[in-house]
Amino acid sequence: MTTSNIETATSSQPEAPAAVAPADAKVAPERPYSPGLEGVIAAETAVGFVDGANGRLLYRGYPIGQLVEKGTYGRVAELLWTGEWRKSARLAPAVVPDPVLCALRELPMHTHPMDALRTAVSVWGAWRRPHWPPTVDQARELTAFAPSALAAFHRLRNGLEPVKPNQKLSLAGGFLQQLNGKDPDPADARALDAYFIVGAEHGLNASTFTCRVIISTRSDLASAICGAIGALKGPLHGGAPAEVVSQLHEIGSPENAEQWVREAIARGDKIMGFGHRVYRAYDPRAAALRKVAEGMADMAEWLDIAVKVEDVVLRVFGELKPDRVIKTNVEYYAAAVLQGVGLPPDLFPPTFALARMAGWGAHAIEQASADKLIRPDARYVGPAEMEVPSLGSR
């Protein structure tokens, strides 16, 4: 169907007549209002299942712990996109296209890495012009090039030239190789690959919902991913791991943890890395990453502090907030892994975005197959109908 045909077909669908409020009365609400759409079922999906009550996360039916233990990000991404588990599936780092590299060179050095990644995806979209509906091939290409683009920007802002990816490495390993200019330690590459796996998909979160809304308009995959990156940039969604690092540095040692936690709770401060809007049990992604962190040779001291502080936080929360279920979430041990592989804190949010590319792509493909415009209603709470003042009145 051509663009003009699409527009004609869309515009020919009659809209329901709008309700008109009486001049002296408000319209009675017909449906309950849910702030933040909490509890509202806005989609049906076969991609992932978040079981918050029981602390489970499934990708296409497979538990996240088993995927980390037995899989790679390449296999998991293919699973999310196609629904098939293929041991031979592999996702290698791709070369940054020249138009994207030129755009990255023009960015100021103070540009936030999330903005640089969003820009890279936007230029990729303008260059490749991906058609609607999104395809698995489009998702593969975008996911494979994004880490290379982020690594290129990081080197450019530090006065270094980008390096070509070693395409024999995994996507995570290739990202580290391009950041540092040398092949990574295999343990670091495996740890980051595990982080990519646990970050790949997590239900209808804010960025995934944004992605699906954009795709539902029959826009292209690059536009949807740009919107998702914009949503993930917000500190309530993608910035927590970096704040966990700052928090643990502020605490300093396990001996200081109890006083710090009690004072933070008394002030009403949010303690990063704990509590989740969905999970009412220990976040299974945190459990998987804790195992990975424990296996990292250079993480002993940092992990020891993190584990001891975690124990104190959970105990004090249980004492002071017995009516609230607050458990460790993925950001807590994500911080340990990301710091352990040598990433600077301002790369934590865009690295989260690199991981989530697989899930965003899978949801984009699924939403396009449904081909239903997402268009919720809003409850009007403004003034009742009134006359516009005449030109002579004040």
Choose the weakest-confidence range: 277-291, 351-365, 376-390.
277-291
State yes or no: is 276 an active-site residue.
yes
Which pLDDT value is given to residue 279? Answer: 63
SS3 290: helix
Pick the catalytic residue from 276, 310, 363, 366: 276
| pLDDT beyond 60 at 292 | yes
Which pLDDT value is given to residue 53? Answer: 81
Give the residue extent of every domain in the chain: 48-235+350-370, 240-340
Work out whether strand 48-51 and strand 56-59 pair parallel, antiparallel, or are unpaired.
antiparallel
| pLDDT beyond 70 at 28 | no
One-letter amino acid of 251: I
Q: Reply yes or no on domain 48-235+350-370 having CATH 1.10.580.10.
A: yes
Choose the weakest-confidence range: 67-76, 246-255, 292-301, 355-364.
292-301
* Alpha carbons 153 and 192: distance in angstroms, whole number: 19
Note the pLDDT tens digit of each residue in 240-255.
Answer: 677 888 888 888 888 8
Q: State the CATH architecture for 240-340.
A: Orthogonal Bundle (1.10)
Instruction: At 346, list the tokens.
Output: 């301002």
Choose the weakest-confidence range: 27-41, 73-87, 246-260.
27-41
Region 9-21: mean pLDDT is: 42
Mean confidence (pLDDT) of the chain: 87
Alpha-helical runs (H) found in the chain: 3-11, 64-70, 73-82, 98-106, 113-128, 136-157, 171-180, 186-199, 206-216, 221-233, 240-251, 254-267, 284-294, 300-320, 330-340, 348-370
Choose the weakest-confidence range: 32-46, 75-89, 95-109.
32-46
| pLDDT beyond 50 at 233 | yes
Which pLDDT value is given to residue 17? Answer: 43
One-letter amino acid of 43: A
State yes or no: is 15 an active-site residue.
no
Pick the catalytic residue from 201, 331, 363, 366: 331
Region 220-237: mean pLDDT is: 93
User: In this structure, are residues 217 and 91 in contact, taking their beta carbons and an 8 Å threshold?
Assistant: no
* Alpha carbons 76 and 86: distance in angstroms, whole number: 9
At residue 18 the predicted structure's pLDDT band, cuts being 50, 70 and 90, is very low
* Alpha carbons 342 and 350: distance in angstroms, whole number: 15
Least Cα distance to 23 among 379, 378, 383 occurs for: 383
Region 122-150: mean pLDDT is: 97
Collect all residues with Cβ–Cβ distance below 8 Å to 10 and sequence separation of at least 6.
Answer: none
